[in-house]
Structure 1
Amino acid sequence: MIERRIMIVDDHPVVREGYRRLIDLQPGLRIVAEADDARSAYARYRDTAPDVVVMDVTIPGASGIEAIRHIRQYDRHARIVVFTMHHGSAYALKSFEAGAAGYVTKSSEPQYLIRAILGALSAAR
């Protein structure tokens, strides 16, 4: 089985721990990097080249949407799933315009995040 590498970006350590526990339970998925702001997200992306990034949009410094743009400028094939508390369509639209491959709200059932990650992985490069 091919192991897919996942990076998580959220400014709350407890939330990142929750992501880690959920994702690590999935066969073939492994957390390889974490970041808590846009700047470190970009640097960690360049250092680790994950297969998928799970990105919150509300992070310190530049927004997650700006981080998506920056990562996608570096790697136009980057697969990024937004995982956020924001339910508004404006955030979703901005995320997709920036290059996100998926958008899941934090109030969703956990399987929706896993489905979004797997969907991003199966998307053609």
Structure 2
Amino acid sequence: MIRILLLDDHNVVRSGYRRLIDAEPDMCVAAEAATVDDAYAAARDIALDVAVVDLSLRGASGIEATRRILARSLGIRVLVLTMHDSPGFVTQAFRAGAMGYLTKSSDPGELIGGIRQVAAGRRVLSA
């Protein structure tokens, strides 16, 4: 079972991701967070496999969240899921340690496949 942390500051977005992910037999949303601090606490307290992280967070950076989560939780991998599609953001995310980068315009199947790929240790990048 792939245990997932969702980090997005919009509740309706997290709710939609949860419905999509929880419908998969090999995945579950183990934690949700609206802030970097909440995500950091979840990564510290819960065994997680993949964190799905938005780059645009109220009062914080998804890049910094990626660094903090990876520094705190051994074995977790980060998949960035964001509206930003510029190469600069992609480069920053991968330099921070993210294994995958998808845009929010991705197909739902691409998100599910991306989570599986990242959980398996393979890099993912939106087409």
| Shared fold, TM over 0.5 | yes
Alignment of 1:1-125 (within 5 A): 3-75=1-73, 77-123=75-121
CA distances 1:18-64 after superposition (whole Å, capped 9, x unpaired): 10011011111001100001111111111112111100011123211
* Residue ranges of structure 2 left out of the alignment (5+ in a row): 123-127
More strand by share: 2
Root mean square deviation of aligned Cα: 1.3
Instruction: Report Cα offsets for 1:82-116 as digits up to 9, x if no partner.
Output: 00011111111100000001000001111111111
Q: Which runs of 4+ in 1 moved over 6 A?
A: none
Percent identity for Structure 1 against Structure 2: 47
How far did residue 122 of structure 1 move? 1.0
Paired residues in the alignment total 122
TM-score, normalisation: structure 1: 0.92
